[in-house]
């Protein structure tokens, strides 16, 4: 199995766990908690900032000394926009499930920005349609670079069955601004219906001999997490199964500047 694929745990509790140490990189962390009604999860942020995304279900949330009450609304990631909670470094947060709850914990280094904890409601979120034809996908910006945070960039994407996404292939693995930014990235995948699968390829440019430093193709199933440490990373949703993914990105500079694979850029014309 690819080292870039973190398989889903079908049980309860913390069912996915990615840290900079386990991923072999510097910035991005990702956890997924699956809670039953009445269960609670609580953590210290330490020197990292956190964006809690209520993927499905409802729960009451606190951060620091503030009680944010009941958050969450949708019962499927394929229906509507999410509720989220931004928590800065040096804080403690807790969430108690009111219903069955899937809570994503997206984290990256805090930079001492002194930002307050805040709710990110569905009404705060911009949505856009990208691509055309069978490259059409639907994007919800949870924590884009125009909104306050130290390091985190967080976005959801829904790709209809039979469509491609993160396509034409692009990468963001060089600290070469303004042309390209270095950003590590995780994909948390869901399928509808849940028994489906999709594909993701992560690969680098070929050298003069035609060899690639990295070239992995993964079949992703419902709940899987994929790691993108470098290279291009397109996805393909199989016919009959819509693909949802939650992206977490972070790097030395909080900006998304990507480079398209030149041999496929003609698809944008």
3-state secondary structure of 47: coil
Asked if the peptide bond before residue 168 counts as cis, ω within 30 degrees of 0, the response is: yes
- Encode pLDDT of 91-120 as tens digits: 999 999 999 999 999 999 999 878 999 999
- Encode pLDDT of 239-268 as tens digits: 999 999 999 999 999 999 999 999 999 998
Q: What are phi and psi of 211, to 5 degrees?
A: -90, 145
Alpha helices in the chain (DSSP H): 20-23
- Encode pLDDT of 182-240 as tens digits: 999 999 999 999 999 999 999 999 988 889 999 999 999 999 999 999 999 999 999 99
Rg (C-alpha) for the chain, rounded Å, is: 18
Number of folded domains in the chain? 1
- For the chain, percent of residues with pLDDT exceeding 70: 100
- For the chain, percent of residues with pLDDT exceeding 90: 94
The pLDDT confidence band at residue 63, using thresholds 50, 70 and 90, is very high
Give the domain CATH number at 127.
2.60.120.10
Mean pLDDT of the chain: 96
Closest CA to 82 of 49, 50, 57, 114: 57
Q: Where are the beta strands (DSSP E) in 125-169?
A: 126-130, 137-143, 153-159, 164-165
pLDDT at 227: 98
152-170 mean pLDDT: 97
Range(s) of the domain holding residue 48: 5-268
pTM: 0.96
Q: Has residue 159 got a pLDDT over 90?
A: yes
Q: Long-range contacts of range 259-266, CB-CB < 8 Å, 24 or more positions apart?
A: 259/170, 259/171, 259/172, 259/174, 259/179, 259/180, 260/168, 260/169, 260/170, 261/168, 261/169, 261/170, 261/171, 261/205, 261/232, 264/167, 264/168, 264/169, 265/168
Q: Has residue 8 got a pLDDT over 90?
A: no
């Amino acid at each position: 199995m690819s080292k870039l694929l973190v398989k889903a745990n079908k049980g309860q509790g913390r069912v996915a766990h990615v840290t900079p140490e386990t991923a072999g990189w510097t910035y991005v962390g990702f956890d997924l908690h699956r809670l039953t009604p009445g269960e609670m999860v609580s953590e210290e942020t330490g020197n990292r900032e956190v964006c809690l995304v209520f993927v499905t279900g409802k729960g009451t949330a606190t951060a620091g000394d503030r009680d944010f009450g009941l958050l969450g609304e949708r019962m499927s990631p394929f229906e509507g926009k999410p509720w989220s909670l931004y928590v800065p470094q040096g804080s403690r947060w807790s969430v108690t499930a009111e219903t069955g709850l899937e809570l994503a914990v997206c984290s990256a280094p805090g930079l001492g920005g002194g930002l307050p904890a805040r709710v990110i409601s569905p009404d705060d979120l911009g949505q856009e349609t990208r691509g055309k034809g069978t490259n059409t996908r639907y994007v919800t910006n949870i924590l884009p670079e125009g909104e306050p945070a130290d390091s985190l960039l967080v976005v959801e994407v829904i790709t209809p069955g039979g469509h491609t996404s993160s396509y034409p292939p692009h990468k963001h693995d060089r600290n070469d601004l303004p042309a390209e930014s270095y950003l590590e990235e995780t994909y948390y995948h869901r399928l509808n219906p849940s028994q489906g699968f999709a594909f993701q390829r992560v690969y680098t440019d070929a050298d003069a001999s035609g060899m690639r430093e990295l070239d992995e193709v993964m079949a992703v199933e419902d709940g899987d997490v994929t790691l993108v440490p470098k290279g291009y990373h397109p996805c393909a949703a199989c016919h009959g199964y819509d693909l949802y993914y939650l992206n977490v990105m972070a790097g030395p500079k909080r900006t998304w500047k990507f480079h398209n694979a030149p041999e496929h850029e003609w698809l944008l014309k």
